[in-house]
Amino acid sequence: MAATPPAAFDPVEATDLYIDGLSPALRAAGAAYAEQREAAWVLGGVLIIAVALIVMKSRLLPQLAARIEAERPRPWLAGLAGAFVLFLAMILVKLPLDVAVAWLADRTRLGPTAPVGVYLARAWGGDLPLLLGLTVVACGLQGLARALPRTWWAWAGAIAGLALIGLVWGPYAGRAGPAHLPPLPPGPARDGMLSLIHDAGLSARDVYLVASPEVDGDVTGLPGQARVVVNQGMLDHASVPEMRAAIGHLAGHFVRGDQFGFALLLALSVLAGLLAIHRLAGPLTALLGEGAGRGPGDLVALPAALMAAVLAIGASALAERAYDRWINVRADQFSLDHARAPDGLALNLLRGWRDDKVDPGPLEEALFFDHPSLRNRILHAMRWKAGHGVSAAPGPQGGSPAGR
């Protein structure tokens, strides 16, 4: 029977001890970086909608199409040119924001910054492939909408959804079963991992060692064909309780099928976004005074389609973040129930902290965070510890690597 922790054990106080391990300067930088990122996300969406509105009201795209099709209909060429002009305007207007965000991020988190020209080159280097990709995709969708005005969104959504599931879940599922990798060497770490595999009901028969310096590991594969790997960096730098807790969290994702669920959510989000464009592009175009009866296949409606896409992307981002927070709470719970290493989990969460706000408000967390806040996750672990009488780990001071 597990020992009962001292009566004085307070989950909130224990959480505060862990959080206090982060310097005030780091926490302040993380909070500032989070607020900058959040403001940029909102401002970026507003700027894109503003650009689309300006391009629409200027009638730039119909004029461009009229010149291209002066002699004969060239809908594909007109669509390609119109999409290029719209997305080029979007990127040029948003470019200063991207540069400012990257510069502020380095200034906030690192202190020293490179010349502004370096950030401009980096931003444009990423924007140029984006411009070309968006142009080709938008032109293709316009053509499909012209050919199949009622069902184009369903066909496009099905194709994109299957591709997303393959790209997001396929590699994860493909790393299944036995691997041509060395096993974890004998010792406490291997014993602890094999015990976790048994307790979590995983189908893996061994634990493999990957020659990577990152303090990480993974549990991947198809149902019934789990593969558990631990990086050399984790073996070298993490205690056995931390290792068990971290892999226990990943095992929770595997057992619940979270990677497939996330891929499916992305696919459904794309389908919903295309449906939103199908339903809203025409009415938005008419509402803004650019003529009724315009559908997504009409170049005049392309700016309205971009506005609808921005709104759909914002809604899908909120849904994906909510789902991501939920599956991570569930995976933390799985780790606690099967690894039974709450202090190991807390230490791993501190190690993996991503320079973010430690304790955001509920609304801020709901809108902008794709993982529960650091404080809430550690508090979850400490409450589990208090409720289950686990006192084998000495608490926040118990993070030194154990013998392996």
CB 202 within 8 A of CB 228: yes
The predicted structure's pLDDT at residue 389: 75
The predicted structure's pLDDT at residue 23: 87
The predicted structure's pLDDT at residue 398: 42
Sign, CA dihedral 245-251-252-258, equals: positive
Q: Dihedrals φ, ψ of 381, to 5°?
A: -65, -40
The predicted structure's pLDDT at residue 107: 86
CB 331 within 8 A of CB 253: yes
The predicted structure's pLDDT at residue 266: 96
Query: Which percentage of the chain shows pLDDT scores above 90?
Result: 82
- Strand, coil or helix: 28: helix
The predicted structure's pLDDT at residue 404: 35
CB 11 within 8 A of CB 383: yes
Token pair in block for residue 245: 């807790």
Q: Is 400 exposed, middle or buried (0-12, 13-18, 19+ CB in 10 A)?
A: exposed
Low pLDDT (below 50) residues in the chain = 1-2, 392-404
The predicted structure's pLDDT at residue 5: 52
Give the residue carrying structure tokens 């979590």: 200
Q: Dihedrals φ, ψ of 289, to 5°?
A: 80, 25
The predicted structure's pLDDT at residue 393: 44
Residue type present at position 306: L
The predicted structure's pLDDT at residue 66: 93
Residue 229 vs residues 44, 73, 93, 206, 256: alpha-carbon distances, Å: 39, 58, 45, 9, 18
Other beta carbons within 10 Å of 97: 15
